[in-house]
């Protein structure tokens, strides 16, 4: 089966600093791939290259066999890619309901609807209700998002990235800053995603990585240092070295 | 969402209806020069509301909104005075086309090169460019004298012909302004509460996320700029018939100043904020013109300073007089029924926000 | 031909007044991040203050110094009371300073009246120097001289002093500069005061040419914006180049194609913004 997403010698440098160096990565449909690495390893930069927020200095990105290296951010979303952000990126002045509705109509024709009130769009309201119920946010639908608790914002963050019904979901540290309980909840949710959704996630939380991922890729100084299954990664000496001091975390479970 | 007509909406609809009826009936009670003041409030209100589409909803600050106001005024005046086409409706149509075209042309460099929002270098480029747009058109109006009347502009715009009967009198013009104002406000309200309008709010809050969700935010900003330009142009047409003159100043900073003052004064969190700002502004201007004509720029400047310093804002949204009026109305809706010993209507949250 | 040379001198003196304004404007924006659309009004205020000093004590140089100090104080007061609260909110700063400009212009009109005041050139700088068959007004040469002096001083400050280095570092990355332990606050305050003082100086030395009237700053502010964009920010030589281009363009335009001149300056402005947003000489820090 052809890979869903493939990068070919993907590099970007800022001035003299190479943030991502010649990364070749292929993700099969339905795979759960975790991207790990110490801070500053270029994980989020790599994400931004995949979603088009950044343009690569060299190399190519293929999605579903098409070269999307120069495609715009929004067109990639229309092709079936979606992402969440490490730093919560919502619409803080709008209600939860409006956030969900804006998220849902991003890939619908109706987003250019000029005249009919959005709240009269029954299908959209229903879809928003489903989305919010799945994230247990329906009761909070009238709250202004900026005033929500952090954990709830993270849930909405993931809800929004699921709203466009992506084939490839890119999660940037989905459990970042959450409590143990909330984090476990997120892990459960990601596990529960159907096999139609391919997941590429950045994570620091090894419970999340080992709980979800089929395959783990370690990025170090912008390069793929090693990759393998969870078990291989756990045993790998290089990973231990790079993650020196967090051995306990790796050895856990 | 359970009830079809939540009580809070009914209250607001009732308020809009009552105000509309009062404004409609005003000329019956007031002498002409008073009702012309109300007409001016409506024209400026329309102008400022059109700016609010971009400034308040999509977070595109513009110091050159008068470019469209002037474009509307001049196109209507040129049609009547230079081409001899007296029909008001043709003038309106022509002005809409012209201001849309100008907005479409200016919008390309404005959003493609200077940019505003995500990915823009610095908002100052965009701001300086918008200043340039208005000034450029105003200087253009001075330069091509045969068409535009040069630096003194054109005066003697006749009373509007609506295509039936003779030209309308001042009282009928009031109703014309009212009618067009209502239609435009209604259209803008619908646009801002449509899918498109909520997308603009999303761009205001977080443009990067909008792109990640699949929105072509450039197209939204560009089209909202054109929409704002068209309604600004319509306000210009009404203003040209209102004062029966057009001047290069209609394009210039001095006119743009009014538009964003009203937006800030009325607040950007509610749709009718700029309208409230307009009522307040025209009222003060009228009082000042009687008692303190000479000090008017001082008062005008002071209102700007007070509006920007005293209105609390949060995250790029001004809370001007508009929300205050809304709160007052909601308070009245709670208190007044109690006077008759009735239970106040419960407001049902709808998630719509404002 | 001879007419063109005299017009050239007029354009040059105009360009240097624009330079003083534009240098102040871009310094205040560069180091403080303040979009000061009241810069033209402050220039006008400087002219009036200078005029008042000359009228009372007949000392031109004292007038320049008083106007510079007064403007620095007023400018800083405006910053302290208003602009400081609008940090990093460029559109709001613009709106606020437009309001302040209106207030200043009207207060000046209140105190000194709406009519234009002519101001005599100071003693020793009146008259005309004849070179060949051409007569050059001495005062215009003097303005050019002052302008060159200020240019030299600012250039020296930019390239040779610690203050210049800190300013450049601050323009590149303000947070970093602050965190390096450099007292950026002190430097930026100094530069802000300098920018304001330059507006005052420009007002006093410009007034004998144009006369002092309440709206004298309005058009000059718009030209200043054009200069700043055309020349680019970050380098004083860019500002100078922009001032020369616009000053000469405007003066020659007014002399030969009077009605098109104003329009032309804005076309240049938009063309530069479109084609070279960093200005003729400048960095993309603006």
**B195: contact with A, CB 8 A cutoff:** yes
Q: Which residue has the tokens 């619409």?
A: A91
Mean pLDDT of B260-280: 89
| Separation of alpha carbons A138 and A128, rounded Å | 9
Within 8 A by CB and 6+ apart from C134, the residues are C2, C5, C6
Mean pLDDT of C111-116: 86
- The candidate with the shortest Cα–Cα distance to B90, out of B100, B75, B103, B105, is B75
Task: Report residue C105's pLDDT band, with 50, 70 and 90 as the boundaries.
Answer: very high
Q: Which of A82-86, B29-33, C121-125 has the highest mean pLDDT?
A: A82-86
Strand partners of residue A12: A20
User: Cβ separation of B301 and C103 shorter than 8 Å?
Assistant: yes
pLDDT score at B259: 92
Residue B102's Cβ-side half-sphere holds a number of Cα atoms within 13 Å equal to 28
pLDDT score at B316: 57
C-alpha separations of B121 from B93, B106, B126, C171, C232 in Å:
37, 18, 9, 14, 14
pLDDT at position A248 over 60: no
Tell me the count of A-B CB pairs closer than 8 A: 125
Task: Report residue A8's pLDDT band, with 50, 70 and 90 as the boundaries.
Answer: confident
Measure CB to CB from residue B135 to each of C82, C222, C259 and give the nearest one: C222
pLDDT score at A1: 61
pLDDT score at A180: 85
Q: Which residues 69-108 of C have a C-beta within 8 angstroms of B?
A: 82, 85-86, 90-92, 94-96, 98-107
| Separation of alpha carbons A237 and A219, rounded Å | 15
Mean pLDDT of B222-251: 93
- Specify whether the CB–CB gap between A76 and A48 falls below 8 A: no
pLDDT in tens, B290-301: 888 888 889 999
- How many residues are recorded in chain B? 354
pLDDT at position A67 over 50: yes
pLDDT score at C163: 80
Please report the DSSP string for chain C in residue order.
-HHHHHHHHHHHHHHHHHHHHHHHHHHHHHHH----TTHHHHHHHHHHHHHHHHHHH--HHHHHHHHHHHHHHHHHHHHHHTGGGGTT-HHHHHHHHHHHHHHHHHHHHHHH-SSPBP-PPPTTS-SEEEETTEEEEHHHHHHHHHHHHHHHHHHHHHHHSHHHHHHHHHHH-HHHHHHTT--HHHHHHHHHHHHHHHHHHHHHHHHHHH-B-TTHHHHHHHHHHHHHHHH-BS-HHHHHHHHHHHHHHHHHHHHHSHHHHHHHHHHHHHHHHHH-TT-SS-BTT-
Averaged confidence pLDDT in chain C: 84
- Specify whether the CB–CB gap between C211 and C226 falls below 8 A: no
pLDDT score at C279: 72
Predicted ipTM of the assembly: 0.87
Q: Mutate which of C98, C103, C111, C224 to test chain B, going by most B C-beta atoms within 10 A? A: C98
- Our separate counts of H helices and E strands in chain A read 10, 10
pLDDT at position C261 over 80: no
Q: Mutate which of B198, B218, B270, B323 to test chain A, going by most A C-beta atoms within 10 A? A: B198
| Separation of alpha carbons B198 and A94, rounded Å | 9
pLDDT at position A19 over 70: yes
Q: Mutate which of B191, B201, B209 to test chain A, going by most A C-beta atoms within 10 A? A: B209
- Specify whether the CB–CB gap between B208 and A89 falls below 8 A: yes
Residue with more model confidence, B175 or B319: B175
Contact list, B125 vs chain C (CB under 8 Å) = 273, 277, 286
pLDDT at position B223 over 90: yes
Residue with more model confidence, A250 or B271: B271
pLDDT score at B22: 86
Task: Report residue B225's pLDDT band, with 50, 70 and 90 as the boundaries.
Answer: very high
Please report the DSSP string for A157-201 in residue order.
HHHHHHHT--SEEEEESTTTT--HHHHHHHHHHHHHS-TTSEEEE
pLDDT score at C236: 84
Contact list, B298 vs chain C (CB under 8 Å) = 102-103, 106-107, 110
* Class of residue C200 by CB neighbours under 10 A (exposed 0-12, middle 13-18, buried 19+): buried
Mean pLDDT of B307-331: 74
Chains with 3 or more CB pairs closer than 8 angstroms to B?
A, C
Task: Report residue B77's pLDDT band, with 50, 70 and 90 as the boundaries.
Answer: very high
User: Cβ separation of B139 and C102 shorter than 8 Å?
Assistant: no
pLDDT at position C99 over 90: yes
Contact list, C263 vs chain B (CB under 8 Å) = 136, 139-140, 142-143
pLDDT score at B122: 67
pLDDT score at B161: 79
C-alpha separations of C95 from B64, B258, C21, C98, C224 in Å:
12, 11, 20, 5, 17
User: Cβ separation of B351 and A97 shorter than 8 Å?
Assistant: yes
pLDDT in tens, A134-193: 888 888 888 888 888 888 888 888 888 888 888 899 988 888 888 888 888 888 888 888
Strand partners of residue A13: A18
C-alpha separations of A191 from B276, B289, C37 in Å:
52, 70, 56
Domains of chain A in start order, with CATH, are 1-80+166-253 (3.40.50.300), 90-164 (no CATH)
pLDDT at position B232 over 90: yes
Q: Which of A202-211, B121-130, B306-315 has the highest mean pLDDT?
A: A202-211
User: Cβ separation of B196 and A111 shorter than 8 Å?
Assistant: yes
Task: Report residue A252's pLDDT band, with 50, 70 and 90 as the boundaries.
Answer: very low
pLDDT at position A221 over 60: yes
| Separation of alpha carbons B188 and B271, rounded Å | 9
pLDDT at position C136 over 60: yes
Residue B314 carries which DSSP code? E
Task: Report residue B121's pLDDT band, with 50, 70 and 90 as the boundaries.
Answer: low
Task: Report residue B115's pLDDT band, with 50, 70 and 90 as the boundaries.
Answer: low
C-alpha separations of B217 from A53, A81, B206, B211, C239 in Å:
13, 17, 10, 6, 35
Two structure tokens written together for C80: 């302290």
């Amino acid at each position: 089966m052809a890979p869903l997403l493939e990068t070919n010698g993907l590099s970007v440098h800022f001035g003299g600093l190479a943030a991502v160096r010649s990364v070749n990565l292929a993700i099969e449909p339905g795979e759960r791939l975790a991207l790990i690495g110490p801070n500053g390893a270029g994980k989020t930069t790599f994400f931004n290259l995949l979603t088009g927020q950044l343009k690569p200095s060299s190399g190519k990105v293929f999605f579903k066999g098409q070269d999307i290296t120069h495609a715009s951010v929004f067109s990639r979303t229309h092709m079936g890619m979606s992402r969440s952000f490490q730093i919560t990126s919502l619409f803080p002045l709008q209600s939860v309901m409006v956030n969900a509705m804006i998220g849902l109509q991003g890939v619908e024709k109706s987003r250019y609807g000029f005249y009919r009130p959005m709240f009269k769009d029954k299908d959209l309201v229903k879809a928003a209700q489903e989305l919010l119920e799945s994230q247990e946010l329906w009761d909070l639908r009238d709250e202004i998002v900026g005033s929500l608790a952090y954990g709830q914002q993270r849930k909405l963050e993931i809800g929004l990235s699921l709203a466009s019904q992506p084939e490839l979901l890119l999660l940037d540290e989905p459990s970042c800053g959450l409590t143990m309980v909330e984090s476990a909840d997120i892990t459960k949710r990601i596990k529960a995603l159907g096999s139609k959704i391919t997941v590429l996630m950045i994570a620091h939380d090894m419970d999340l990585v080992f709980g979800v991922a089929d395959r783990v890729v370690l990025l170090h100084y912008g390069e793929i240092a090693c990759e393998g299954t969870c078990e291989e990664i756990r045993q790998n000496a290089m990973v231990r070295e790079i993650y020196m001091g967090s051995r306990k975390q790796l050895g856990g479970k | 969402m359970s009830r079809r007509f939540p009580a809070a909406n009914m209250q607001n609809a009732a308020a809009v209806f009552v105000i509309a009826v009062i404004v409609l009936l005003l000329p019956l009670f007031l002498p002409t020069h008073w009702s012309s003041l109300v007409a001016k409030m409506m024209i400026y209100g329309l102008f400022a509301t059109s700016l609010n589409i971009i400034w308040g909803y999509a977070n595109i600050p513009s110091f050159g909104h008068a470019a469209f106001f002037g474009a509307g005024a001049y196109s209507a005046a040129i049609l009547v005075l230079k081409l001899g086409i007296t029909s008001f409706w043709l003038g309106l149509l022509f002005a809409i086309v012209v201001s849309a075209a100008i907005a479409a042309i200016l919008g390309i460099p404005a959003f493609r090169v200077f940019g505003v929002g995500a990915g823009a270098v610095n908002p100052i480029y965009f701001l300086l460019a918008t200043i340039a747009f208005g000034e450029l058109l105003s200087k253009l109006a001075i330069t091509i004298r045969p068409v535009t009347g040069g630096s003194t502009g054109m005066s003697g715009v006749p009373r509007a012909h609506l295509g039936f009967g003779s030209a309308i009198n001042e009282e009928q013009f009031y109703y014309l302004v009212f009618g067009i104002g209502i239609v435009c406000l209604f259209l803008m309200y619908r646009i801002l509460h449509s899918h498109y309008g909520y997308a603009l709010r999303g761009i205001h809050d977080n443009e990067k996320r909008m792109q990640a969700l699949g929105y072509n935010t450039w197209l939204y900003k560009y089209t909202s700029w054109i929409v704002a330009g068209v309604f600004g142009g319509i306000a210009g047409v009404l203003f040209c018939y209102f004062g029966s003159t057009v001047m290069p100043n209609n394009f210039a900073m001095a006119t743009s100043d009014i538009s964003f003052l009203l937006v800030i004064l009325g607040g950007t969190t509610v749709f009718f904020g700029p309208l409230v700002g307009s009522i307040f502004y025209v009222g003060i201007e009228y009082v000042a013109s009687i008692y303190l004509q000479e000090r008017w720029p001082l008062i005008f400047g002071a209102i700007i300073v007070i509006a920007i310093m005293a209105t609390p804002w949060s995250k790029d949204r001004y809370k001007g007089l508009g929300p205050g009026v809304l709160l007052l109305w909601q308070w009245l809706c709670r208190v007044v029924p109690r006077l008759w010993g009735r239970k106040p209507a419960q407001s049902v949250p709808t998630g719509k926000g404002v | 031909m001879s007419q063109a040379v005299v017009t050239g001198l007029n354009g040059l003196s105009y360009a240097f007044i624009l330079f003083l304004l534009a240098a102040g404007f871009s310094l205040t924006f560069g180091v403080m991040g303040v979009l000061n659309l009241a810069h033209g009004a402050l220039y006008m205020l400087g002219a009036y203050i200078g005029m008042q000093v000359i009228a009372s004590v007949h000392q031109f140089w004292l007038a320049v110094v008083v106007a510079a100090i007064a403007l620095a104080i007023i400018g800083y007061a405006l910053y302290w009371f208003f602009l400081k609260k609008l940090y990093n909110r460029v559109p709001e700063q613009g709106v606020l300073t437009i309001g302040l400009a209106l207030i200043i212009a009207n207060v000046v009109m209140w105190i000194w009246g709406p009519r234009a005041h002519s101001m005599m050139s100071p003693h020793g700088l009146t008259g005309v120097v004849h070179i060949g068959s051409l007569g050059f007004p001495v005062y215009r040469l003097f303005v050019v001289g002052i302008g060159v002096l200020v240019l030299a001083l600012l250039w020296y400050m930019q390239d040779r002093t610690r203050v210049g280095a800190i300013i450049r570092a601050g323009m590149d990355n303000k947070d970093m500069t602050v965190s390096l332990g450099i007292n950026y606050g002190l430097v930026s305050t100094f530069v802000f005061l300098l920018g304001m003082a330059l507006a005052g100086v420009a007002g006093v030395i410009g007034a004998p040419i144009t006369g002092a009237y309440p709206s004298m700053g309005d058009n000059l502010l718009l030209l200043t914006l054009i200069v700043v964009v055309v020349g680019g920010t970050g380098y004083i030589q860019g500002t100078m180049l922009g001032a020369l281009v616009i000053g000469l363009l405007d003066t020659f335009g007014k002399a030969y194609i009077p009605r098109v001149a104003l329009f032309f300056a804005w076309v240049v402005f938009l063309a530069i913004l479109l084609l070279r947003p960093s200005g003729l000489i400048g960095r993309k820090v603006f």
